[in-house]
Amino acid sequence: MPKKTMRDAINEALHQAMAADERVFVIGEDVAGGNGSNGRIGCAGGVFGVTTGLYEKFGPLRCIDTPISESAIVGAAAGAALVGLRPVAEIMFADFIGVCMDQIVNQIGKFRYMFGGKSKCPLVIRFTTGGGFSAAAQHSQSMYQVMTAFPGLKVVVPSNAYDAKGLLLAAIADDDPVLFFEPKALYQVACEVPDEYYTIPLGQAAMPREGDDVTVVAFGQMVGRAAQAIDELEAELGITCDLIDPRSTSPLDEETILESVRATGRLVVVDESPPRCGLTADVAAMAAERVFHSLKAPVKQVCAPHSPVPFSPELEAAYLPSVERIKAAIRETAA
Amino acid sequence: MSFNREQLLRAYRQMCTIRVFEDRAHAEIMNGQIAGFTHLYAGQEANAVGVCEHLGAGDTIISTHRGHGHCIAKGADVIGMMKELWGSSEGLCKGKGGSMHIADIDQGILGANGIVAGGPPISVGAALAAKIRGRDSVAISFSGDGSVNQGTCFEAMNLAVVLKVPAIFVIENNYYSEHTSINYAVGCKDLKARTEAFGFPVFVADGSDFFAVYEAAGKAIAHARAGNGPAGVFCEMGRFHGHFVGDPEGYRGPGEVKRLRQDFCCLKKFRARMEQTGELAVAELDDIDAAVNVLIDEAVLAARAARRPVAAEVATDVYVNY
């Protein structure tokens, strides 16, 4: 099977979705690039190159550049979705949710329910997410944790290229609005990805490692670090772990997590978001409430501190959960 | 408009400092010395300096992701700025903000800003504070041609008129919002008329000409200081570098940047005018170039040697440490 980077896998998914369904189009800042200039239209293909080639293949009505107007981008995509198209909007950095929060939270997330189930809003909004680039406090946040709190929005955060392609194709085929968070630190990471169209259902976790001693739940960029921590601990101490990658945080595959914790009795939850009202706390609370009697040790959360994301490379390295911190948490839990 | 020698020397020195700072930052980024996303201002120096030369200690500016020039023009310490780019804890923001978030509140610099059009509403607040306190200070927001299509920019402009506050909206048209031309992204043909429709005057200047910007900014600032409410300044001048360092710049036409550097360089234009009028001697300007190069060399050496932050600093400057 061919190896592809996450960037290429997502690009391939967009090409395939647009080829398969003429209602699908992409809209956002510089998804083509070069419009109105003396250079080449299509020169950008998104600031991370994820939408490369879509303008050339599908033209200006299906690869639509916009001014820097995040609220209007989301609103326009939502309106098109309400009347039957299937837009894939791009908001570049997830931090810019701050600019278009009303359209996402008060509008698209509530249509179907407020309108008594009579509307569909088959809209995907893509964002880059997370730290690792020294991009500082306004370009590095993990907003999926916040957005997971809002009913009516589906939230996806892939951890590898294979999942990214299948999850994005499922998101585009979904009749509800889906927020799709792409960890920018993983764009260049490759794995085996089939050439053909396939989908991965939202709400179905993956389990990239299976073991007996500890359940580790990790999200997005942290899945790879958790896998490394687990592999090292198995080699060093013989501790084995289930590693659960929920892949979507809303809907969340509760049963896979609970079933694993019932078997291991120990839980470590890892995310790069801050701790309060967060994903790790949410999963920890779920375990405490529903499988308390299976627990043999306190649940451990490994997450970022309650601070904005710092710029300095050393500070950002200290901010993001490291393999060492994950190993320490697993060791403590297993002790 | 007449200038004394001190003013001319200072204006040139400020523009030169920005140019050398930016070109050096570019070189250091390409050498892998500076992390993160950096957006360079080289080419647009006359805008920042032409505006900020009117400002005093009580006036404020707020900037953009392309903020180094504005900060230098308003008086930020270039060594502290260079240390910030390096991510040192001796930097102006202790290495926590980096290029996109340089600020120096004591100097009236309310911060570079990573959100397009994040600044204009905040600047309206600084202007409102001046009005409430009965001071004649003004609040400048610098933002680019990309910012004029954001709701926050519209809201800020209208609110400034409603509250009749001394806010100056300096719109720097460098022709591109990231990779998209203003010809595409601004739907109307006349952005000046669209902006003036909010209810304040807009003064337009060639952004490669310090004297033109200074004159336009002077009119806008005088209008606001006199209690007449907000005003706008539009400066038109392309950037010499990409949107960010590493941008392949596929949106440029053939020879575009070369032409900008040759024919629209604010430093060359300034020198040409001095030669024509004889107000400053070539040697004086050469001396400034040399002194600025020494200063920026010192800044880089200081940044390289500056203290690196330790992990515990992640949780300082925030109200909890968990």
**How far apart, in whole angstroms, are the C-alpha atoms of residue A257 and residue A239?**
19
- Together in a domain, A187 and A222: no
Backbone angles phi, psi at A196, to 5 degrees: -80, 165
Asked if B176's CB is within 8 angstroms of A311's CB, the reply is no
Average pLDDT over residues B149-173: 98
* Residues within 8 A of B (CB atoms), A 228-267 only: none
CA distance B313 to chain A (A): 7
Give contacts of B252 with chain A, Cβ < 8 Å: 37-39
Asked whether residue A200 is assigned to any structural domain, the reply reads: no
Contacts of A96 in chain B (CB under 8 A): 115
Please check whether residue B66 is in contact with residue B39, taking contact to mean a CB–CB distance below 8 angstroms.
yes
Q: Identify the bridge partners of residue B177 per DSSP, sorted by sequence position.
A: B180
With beta carbons under 8 A apart, name residues in chain A contacting B174: none
Residue % of chain B over a pLDDT of 90: 99
Q: Is the domain of A152 the same as that of A238?
A: no
Chain A residue nearest residue B314, CA to CA: A315
Instruction: Tell me the C-alpha distance between B251 and A191, whole Å.
Output: 32
Q: What is the pLDDT of residues B38-82, one digit of tens each?
A: 999 999 999 999 999 999 999 999 999 999 999 999 999 999 999
What is the value of ipTM here, to two decimals?
0.95
pLDDT tens digits for range A173-217: 999 999 999 999 999 999 999 999 999 999 999 999 999 999 999
**A312/B98 CB distance under 8 A:** yes
C-alpha triplet B113, B149, B52: angle, nearest 5°? 45
Using pLDDT thresholds of 50, 70 and 90, give the confidence band for residue B321. confident
Q: What are A102-115's pLDDT values in tens digits?
A: 999 999 999 999 99
Is a pLDDT exceeding 90 seen at residue A79? yes
User: Does A83 share its domain with A26?
Assistant: yes
pLDDT tens digits for range B221-233 = 999 999 999 999 9
Q: Mean pLDDT over residues A255-279, rounded? A: 97
Cβ–Cβ of B114/A35 closer than 8 Å? no
Res. B219: pLDDT tops 90: yes
CA-to-CA distance for A217 and A270, rounded, in angstroms? 6
Q: Evaluate whether residue A201 is within a structural domain.
A: no
Count of domains for chain A: 2
B130, amino acid identity: A
Is there a contact between A312 and A320 (Cβ–Cβ < 8 Å)? no
Count CB neighbours of A40 within 10 A.
16
**Out of B88, B184, B320, closest to residue A36 by CB:** B184
The number of CA neighbours under 13 Å toward the Cβ of B63 is 30
Residues A225 and A187 in one domain: no
Same domain, A13 and A90: yes
Residue A117: per-residue pLDDT:
97
- Is B180 close to A65, i.e. CB distance below 8 A? yes
Q: Which of A37, A95, A139, A273 to mutate to test the interface with B (most CBs of B within 10 A)?
A: A37
Q: Using CB atoms, pick whichever of A135, A275, A313 lies closest to residue B87.
A: A313
Domain assignment of residue A199, yes or no:
no
Q: Has residue B210 got a pLDDT over 90? A: yes
Q: Which domains does chain B have, with CATH numbers?
A: 5-308 (3.40.50.970)
Condensed to tens digits (0 to 9), the pLDDT of residues A13-47 reads 999 999 999 999 999 999 999 999 999 999 999 99
Contact: A37, B251; criterion CB under 8 Å = yes
Q: Are strands A178-183 and A124-129 parallel, antiparallel or unpaired?
A: parallel
| B322–A306 CB contact, under 8 Å | yes
Examine the domain organization and report whether A229 and A156 are in the same domain.
no
Is residue A155 situated within a structural domain?
yes
- 8 A C-beta contact, residue B116 and residue B63: no
Per-residue CA distances from A97 to A101, A140, B313 (Å): 5, 12, 27
Q: Is the pLDDT of residue B140 over 90?
A: yes
Considering the domain architecture, whether residues A78 and A165 belong to the same structural domain is answered as yes
Looking at residue B1, what is its pLDDT? 78
Pick left, alpha or beta for residue A134 (phi over 0 → left; psi -120 to 50 → alpha; otherwise beta): left
Greater pLDDT, B247 or B1: B247
Q: Are the beta carbons of A312 and B87 separated by less than 8 Å?
A: yes
Residues B249 and B247: their CA atoms lie apart, in Å, by 5
Q: Which of B251, B309, B320 sits opposite A39 (nearest CB)?
A: B251
Same domain, A109 and A238: no
Mean pLDDT for chain A overall: 98
Please, is B125 exposed, middle or buried when counting C-beta atoms within 10 Å of its C-beta (0-12, 13-18, 19+)?
A: middle
* A298 within some domain: yes
The residues facing B140 across adjacent strands are: B61, B168
Tell which of A192, A226, A252 closes a domain.
A192
Of B97, B117, B178, the CB nearest to A311: B97
Q: What are phi and psi of A165, to 5 degrees?
A: -65, -50
Task: For residue B173, report the phi and psi dihedrals to the nearest 5 degrees.
Answer: -85, 105
The answer to whether A165 touches A12, Cβ cutoff 8 Å, is yes
Verify that A39 and A99 share a domain, yes or no. yes
- Per cent of chain B over pLDDT 70 is 100
B246 contact A CB<8A: no
Q: How far apart are the first and last CA of chain B?
A: 57
Domain containing A279 — which CATH number? 3.40.50.920
Instruction: In whole angstroms, give the CA distance from residue A272 to residue A300.
Output: 14
Amino acid, single-letter form, for residue A323: V
How many angstroms away from the CA of B84 is the closest CA of chain A? 8
| Neighboring chain A residues of B143 at a CB cutoff of 8 Å | none
Q: Which of residues 100-159 of B touch A (CB under 8 A)?
A: 100-101, 113-118, 146-147, 149-152
Contacting residues of A for B318, CB less than 8 Å apart: 306-308
Whether A97 is in a domain gets the answer: yes
Task: Kindly report the backbone phi and psi dihedral angles of residue A92, in degrees, each rounded to the nearest multiple of 5, phi listed first.
Answer: 60, -95
Which residue does chain B place closest to A134, by CA atoms? B36
Shortest CA gap A96–chain B (Å): 7
Domain match, A173 and A65 both: yes
CB–CB contact B251 A34 (8 Å): yes
* pLDDT at site B294: 98
Parallel, antiparallel, or unpaired: how do β-strands A267-270 and A214-218 relate?
A: parallel
Give the end of a domain, one of A192, A214, A246: A192
Are A35 and B315 a contacting pair at CB < 8 A?
no
Q: Which residues pair with B234 in a beta bridge?
A: B171, B204
Q: Which of A69, A133, A305 sits opposite B36 (nearest CB)?
A: A133
Is the pLDDT at A235 greater than 90? The verdict is: yes
Range of the domain at A139: 3-192
Inter-chain contact B250–A33, Cβ cutoff 8 Å? yes
Same domain, A239 and A142: no
pTM: 0.97
Model confidence at B273, in pLDDT bands (50, 70, 90)?
very high
CATH number at residue A150: 3.40.50.970
Neighbours of B182 (CB within 10 A): 21
Report the greatest alpha carbon distance in chain A. 67
Decide if B114 and A95 are in contact by the 8 Å CB cutoff. yes
Catalytic residue numbers of A, as ranges: 139
Q: Does A311 touch chain B (CB under 8 A)?
A: yes
Q: Is residue A116 part of a domain?
A: yes
Last residue of a domain, one of A159, A192, A225: A192
Indicate if A74 and A216 belong to the same structural domain: no
Q: Rounded distance, CA B200 to CA B223, Å?
A: 10
Q: Record the tokens describing residue A64, joined without a space.
A: 């639509």
Residue A260 lies in a domain: yes
Between CA A29 and CA A125 the distance in angstroms is: 12
Local structure of A134: helix, strand or coil: coil
Burial class (CB in 10 A: 0-12, 13-18, 19+), A221: buried
* For residues B172-191, average pLDDT: 97
